[in-house]
Structure 1
């Protein structure tokens, strides 16, 4: 495992603060050990998938997955934790909740910044959706961590067009500015999605898609924009510029 001084070297490369660099490092360590033990049973998705697999330049806290094939969650997570221990990172986990819809775990790790105090532990939340359908072909991506002691690894990740549809859904169903930033990132990468896919994703919440409702939901995030994103990215873009591009894209979707 790297040391505190090692992590400091990656500050300029990542744009993250030291605590975020540590969490990013441990996220990679978890994913390496997880995907050594499974194939496409769990499909990586969400903001951290965009950051690890598609080049999103913002820090992301949680690891989100969709269940593709039935597995023994406790056994897989336990074996993953044992693998992290072999990397020199002492870790354990606890199940936070489980129902017919989802399961969540919390990983607790003694990373490079651990100094013996409880508050210096690193916590990573794992969310697994058990019932949501995966609608587009799952992709296999080679991930090459920047950290010199971590090997490349192969990961099963959600198609970016499907992540994009889920980001539109997230903008409608919750109030987080990061969802707008992630959608903006995907638009600038020329990723495409369609109204039909968005509507399919909203069925999970029994919500009908309406463009005006979506645009109102975008507008509502302005009050959260700077304070939230200032903690996640080095340079926060102007909200009005981002909103204009998203509105233009969505109105074109309506015409198609």
Structure 2
């Protein structure tokens, strides 16, 4: 559990790492709740960094960042499809960074740079969030979809709106 002070420190490290990464390369795309929080003003805390990339060098950037900041990290997973690390920045909570290499052919048309952070446009983030919601029972996914509908519905294309309608009608809120 995070105190308010812990959340502020954790969020600072998240933003600091993403700014560092985006100043070094444009090969990592932020997605998920943290993308919604930092780039689209989601009003809930998100504690990890989820990225898409075909670049297999995330540990190089984590290592450089940690050396500059006097942090440590550990590799938790290193496969062809997923790389995961945890940064220890001196607090009880660690920052999880996970890179998926499953989608290596990402169209530049789906990407935007918001506040110096490369992420997906709101339409594509919605599609990714809807896919996550359909495959797991996490209240945060429903919360995020509700946030998108309430704040960005008019920016979604018709196919995405239909996908949301289908997913929400197929998988209601009964399991919560």
Using structure 1 for the length normalisation, give the TM-score: 0.60
Corresponding residue SS for 1:218: coil
Shift of 1:220: 3.4
Alignment match, 2:111? 138
The verdict on how the C-alpha distance between 1:196 and 1:184 changes in structure 2, with shifts beyond 3 A counting, is closer
- Greater relative CO (CA pairs within 8 A, separation 6+): 2
Alignment match, 2:93? 122
Structure 2: 5+ residue stretches without partners: none
Alignment match, 2:38? 52
Q: Within 2, Cα distance between the matches of 1:139 and 1:97?
A: 28
Post-superposition CA distance 1:148-183 (Å, at most 9, x none)? xxxxxx121111111101111111101111111111
Alignment partner of 1:181 out of 132, 143, 149:
143
Q: Within 2, Cα distance between the matches of 1:45 and 1:92?
A: 24
Post-superposition CA distance 1:195-222 (Å, at most 9, x none)? 47997xxxxxxxxx993x643423234x
Alignment partner of 2:49 out of 39, 58, 63:
63
Alignment partner of 1:79 out of 64, 72, 96:
64
Q: Within 2, Cα distance between the matches of 1:198 and 1:100?
A: 33
Shift of 1:25: 1.5
The verdict on how the C-alpha distance between 1:92 and 1:220 changes in structure 2, with shifts beyond 3 A counting, is farther
Q: CA RMSD for the aligned pairs?
A: 2.5
The verdict on how the C-alpha distance between 1:70 and 1:217 changes in structure 2, with shifts beyond 3 A counting, is same
The verdict on how the C-alpha distance between 1:91 and 1:122 changes in structure 2, with shifts beyond 3 A counting, is farther
Structure 1: 5+ residue stretches without partners: 1-15, 111-119, 143-153, 200-208, 224-256
Shift of 1:123: 0.4
Using structure 2 for the length normalisation, give the TM-score: 0.84
Q: Within 2, Cα distance between the matches of 1:70 and 1:172?
A: 28
Contact 1:95 1:106 in 2 (8 A): yes
Alignment match, 2:87? 107
Q: How many residues align?
A: 170
Shift of 1:64: 0.5
Alignment match, 2:123? 161
Contact 1:141 1:157 in 2 (8 A): yes
